[in-house]
Amino acid sequence: MTMICNFKEVCMRRILLTVLVIMVASTLVWAGGGQQTQPAAPATPAAAAEPVTLRVWGGVPEENGPGDLIRAFEAANPNIKVEYTRFVNDDQGNLRLDTALVAGGQVDVYFTYRNDNLVRRASSGNALALDSIATADGMNLAQAFGDLTYATVNGGVYAIPTNKGPQFFMVNKDMFDAAGIPLPTSWTAADYRRIANQLSSGTGQDRIYGVMYPNWPQLFLLGAQSALGPNGFLKADGTSNFTDPLFREFIELRRTMQYDDRSEVPYVEVVSQNLSDATEFLTEQVAMIYTGTWRVRSVRDLETFPHDFKTAFVPLFTMKPGQTRTYNEGSLGDWAMIARDTKVADAAWKFIRYWATEGSDPMVAKGGKIPAWTEYPAAKVTEVMLGPDADKLFDIESFERVVLNAPLFSYQPTDPVAVTIYNDMRNVVKEEVELLYVGRQNLDQTIQAIDRRVNTLARSAR
Amino acid sequence: MKPLTQRQRNQWIAGYLFLLPNLLGFFAFVAVPVLFSLYLAFSRWNLLSGAAGIRFVGLDNFITMASDPWFISSLVNNLVYAFFTVAFSIIIGLFMALLLNNKVFWKGALRTMYFVPYVVSLVAISAIWMAILSRFGPVSQFARFLGIENPPVWLMDPSFAMPAIIALGVWNHAGYCMLIYLAALQGVPKELYEAAEVDGGNARVKFFHVTLPMISPATFLLVITQIIASFRVFAPVQILTQGGPGRSTTVLVYYIYRTAYQNYRMGYASAMAWVMFVLIFLITMIQWRGQKKWVNY
């Protein structure tokens, strides 16, 4: 009995071992082979007459615009067939796209929604430079789209924007009128604090607040970054710039308004109750929210949010005297890019050019996008975005002035070190400011802690 | 050793061929990724740079960990969470089981009520807790009723955020512990209680000298499975506190997730995952060794 048992065991172990060795070996061979077949250089474009298939990855559901756009494009270019794959634009969806890009040979055109992802994808060799292709096609990219700092990596432009996404304050115009406050067209941080105070009233659960922010950690730095511009949280030598007084001032401004003035909805309430700025604003619990173009849809949704006041738009306030430009948390975006290893670069360019320029109507109508293309008529966007009840729901003049016609300068990072540590920097800021809010440390300690930790991050990223 | 006959050999080959599909799946989706992550633990790899971008860096990742405030906080928080969640789940689970093991009204209904939190999705549970703990929610109202004028914002207070997450974990797991204990209590022979009574043992003696030793295998099972489960806590942290306020509720899986899927630092994330594995493995080994002293079969 024991003999057989032993024998069986030995036998089983051997077979298992053999299987294991074969499996590992074959995986290695397969992996190695896969790598070899990956093209090293951009492939030559296919001949124009041959029918080609274009594999496009985007984050917008097909029924919200891309479907119509693709049908129109295919009708105009019968020899190009477009296959659209939708990925959800979150951590997991981006991971899926990145995996497909790294594996190679699966994607021709893709969309990138965050600027740091754009820099990462372009600098790691997963995108095709577009400058020469555009020039050959008779297009001046800077003229057609404006500020392309974010699409420029190592001197080449790697993406074209298909959406203009500024951020701003959406305000309850009726509350402003009732308080006799004219709509600010340019204002300072002091004006902002005073007005938020004037618009606040009530106590306890019925308190009406002047302003509310989403819980994004980078908004603890909003005023400072909007005055300093891109990479403002790092000095030129790559060390932390958090000792700049602007950071201190703005962090203190938000704390004061939450805890002393009580004119801003406390951050701890926003997080711990998962408060939605749409609900608070459209039920008239707050007078101003910091938001972007996506909120227009909520204002128009009278079924979910019945309301009868007018929504107006106000740009960011300035933080220091003589500040002429306020950089924006939003930016040009929805970047169309071409995969480095595509075999159909010509068709891919034709498609992204069409999407970004004359083909963009369906994206405006169904996707709520504002084309970044400078020649796209503003009136058309107003009409489509604000809808038939625009007069009743919106202050159209301020929409066009603040959202459509203001040139958009973003403060999102462009420097490679700043891009690398941007996520961690935001986490550091979130943690330290939370400790400030709950009284575990004072302002000096908060600034010192952020400064020290960002320096550590920057050092490890260089 | 007896040589194999041709027939026996054929039988074995056939047997292993039947196993092959399963083994293939196991290797492709479990063994290879696990081995790969072990290799990554000693490398620096940004996912976007492709397979060619993997750089072997020896023990660098582990050295970084030792001075990484996020990792250290996550580890400490995780140990605190594991200790309190497991202890309270088991004690409360046992208490509920003892209660239900007697003759009580609506036994079935109560049993279901206690067990329901275990089968409800953690996402839904977290949403409910968010409402319960909000400023004007029942917990704060109760605190006001007790005369506390300004009750803390529970989930955003460094002293209360972790206890809140632990309470949620206990609420979630106590029902499961109860169920296992109920089954174990059914298995305690009546004769032992009778014998204890004959010897003049009171209820306390019966509990500590009959019940507890007899259900010790269930306790052992629960301690091991609950510790492993508590190291995997993620959803409540992601939904309720995002690791805050400060670093007071970051836990290992949450930080690993952030490192891997937000920052794409696959090497460092793998290294942390392996540290977590070794930690759980060690704790489990110690338990196996220790069980001889207190578990009765």
**Do A297 and A415 share a structural domain?**
yes
- In this prediction the pTM is 0.78
Average pLDDT (A369-392) is 89
The answer to whether residue A1 is domain-embedded is: no
The answer to whether residue A457 is domain-embedded is: yes
A424 touches B at CB < 8 Å: yes
Helix (H, G, I), strand (E, B) or coil at A163: strand
The answer to whether residue A45 is domain-embedded is: no
A18 touches B at CB < 8 Å: no
Burial B180-213 (b: 16+ CB within 10 A, else e): bbbebbeebeeeeeeebeeeebeeeebeeebbee
Lowest-confidence region among A1-10, A300-309, B8-17: A1-10
Question: Residues 24-43, chain B: which have Cβ within 8 Å of A?
Answer: 24, 27-28, 31-32, 35
State residue A368's pLDDT score.
78
Which parts of chain B register pLDDT below 50? Answer: none
**Do A130 and A91 share a structural domain?**
yes
Q: Determine which helix (DSSP H) or strand (DSSP E) holds A29, and give its type and residue range.
A: helix A2-37
**Do A319 and A365 share a structural domain?**
no
Rounded-to-integer distance, Cα A277 and Cα A270, Å: 9
The answer to whether residue A17 is domain-embedded is: no
**Do A138 and A62 share a structural domain?**
yes
State residue B251's pLDDT score.
94
| Binary contact (A435, B158; C-beta < 8 A) | yes
B32 closest CB neighbour out of A27, A124, A269: A27
State residue A12's pLDDT score.
47
Picking from A45, A139, A63, the residue whose alpha carbon sits closest to that of residue A347 is A45
Question: Residues 106-165, chain A: which have Cβ within 8 Å of B?
Answer: 120-121, 124-126
State residue A223's pLDDT score.
95
Q: Determine which helix (DSSP H) or strand (DSSP E) holds A15, and give its type and residue range.
A: helix A2-37
Pairing relation of β-strands A286-292 and A209-212?
parallel
Q: Where are the alpha helices (DSSP H) in chain B?
A: 6-26, 32-40, 60-66, 69-101, 107-119, 122-132, 138-145, 161-186, 190-198, 203-206, 212-214, 216-231, 235-236, 252-257, 266-294
State residue B277's pLDDT score.
94
Lowest-confidence region among A311-315, A419-423, A424-428, B270-274: A419-423
Closest Cα of chain A to B256: distance in Å?
Answer: 13
Rounded-to-integer distance, Cα A394 and Cα A390, Å: 5
Q: What is the pLDDT of residues A236-268, one digit of tens each?
A: 999 999 999 999 999 999 999 999 999 999 999
Question: Residues 161-220, chain A: which have Cβ within 8 Å of B?
Answer: 205
B65 touches A at CB < 8 Å: no
Per CB-CB distance under 8 Å, the chain B contacts of A126 are 48
Closest Cα of chain B to A138: distance in Å?
Answer: 32
The CATH class that applies to domain B75-251 reads: mainly alpha
Q: Are B77 and B251 in contact (CB under 8 A)?
A: yes
State residue B6's pLDDT score.
87
Rounded-to-integer distance, Cα A331 and Cα A118, Å: 13
Does residue A59 carry a pLDDT above 50?
yes
**Do A321 and A193 share a structural domain?**
yes
What is the CATH number for A221?
Answer: 3.40.190.10
**Do A305 and A217 share a structural domain?**
yes
Per CB-CB distance under 8 Å, the chain A contacts of B241 are 271
**Residue where the block lists tokens 């079935």:** B108
State residue B243's pLDDT score.
86
Highest mean pLDDT: which range of A144-148, A203-207, B279-283: B279-283
Q: Which residues contact B167 (CB under 8 A, 6 or more apart)?
A: none
For chain B, what is the radius of gyration of the CA atoms? Answer: 25
The answer to whether residue A29 is domain-embedded is: no
**Do A131 and A90 share a structural domain?**
yes
Does residue A348 carry a pLDDT above 90?
yes
**Do A411 and A318 share a structural domain?**
yes
**Do A304 and A175 share a structural domain?**
yes
pLDDT band at A32 (very low <50, low <70, confident <90, very high): very low
State residue A24's pLDDT score.
44
Average pLDDT (A398-423) is 88
Question: Residues 93-122, chain B: which have Cβ within 8 Å of A?
Answer: none
Rounded-to-integer distance, Cα A457 and Cα A54, Å: 40
**Domain span including residue A419:** 167-329+394-461
Per CB-CB distance under 8 Å, the chain B contacts of A437 are 156, 245
Helix (H, G, I), strand (E, B) or coil at A85: strand
The answer to whether residue A283 is domain-embedded is: yes
Lowest-confidence region among A350-354, A419-423, B33-37, B86-90: A419-423
Per CB-CB distance under 8 Å, the chain A contacts of B46 are 120, 124
Question: Residues 262-281, chain A: which have Cβ within 8 Å of B?
Answer: 266, 268-269, 271-274
Rounded-to-integer distance, Cα A330 and Cα A312, Å: 18
In chain B, domain spans: 75-251
| Binary contact (B155, A15; C-beta < 8 A) | no
Number of structural domains found in chain A: 2
Lowest-confidence region among A48-57, A293-302, A453-462: A48-57
**Do A172 and A274 share a structural domain?**
yes
CA-to-CA separations, A32 to A25, A105, B49, B274, in angstroms, rounded: 10, 16, 16, 26
Picking from A263, A254, A257, A171, the residue whose alpha carbon sits closest to that of residue A218 is A254
Q: Which residues contact A282 (CB under 8 A, 6 or more apart)?
A: A298, A299, A305, A307
| Closest alpha carbon within chain B to A93 | B261
ipTM of this complex prediction, to 2 decimal places: 0.74
Helix (H, G, I), strand (E, B) or coil at A110: strand
Return the number of CB contacts < 8 Å for A and B: 113
**Residue where the block lists tokens 């020039």:** A135
| Closest alpha carbon within chain B to A122 | B48
| Binary contact (A431, B153; C-beta < 8 A) | no
Structure tokens at B9: 């050999």
DSSP readout, B24-80? Answer: HHHIIIIIHHHHHHHHHTTEE-BGGG-GGG-EE-TTHHHHHHHT-HHHHHHHHHHHH
CA-to-CA separations, B209 to B44, B127, B192, B205, B293, in angstroms, rounded: 55, 42, 10, 6, 15
User: What residue type is B56 in one-letter code?
Assistant: F
Average pLDDT (A297-319) is 94
**Do A281 and A348 share a structural domain?**
no
Helix (H, G, I), strand (E, B) or coil at A197: helix
B156 touches A at CB < 8 Å: yes
The answer to whether residue A220 is domain-embedded is: yes
State residue A18's pLDDT score.
46
**Do A299 and A194 share a structural domain?**
yes
Residues forming a β-bridge with A172: A311
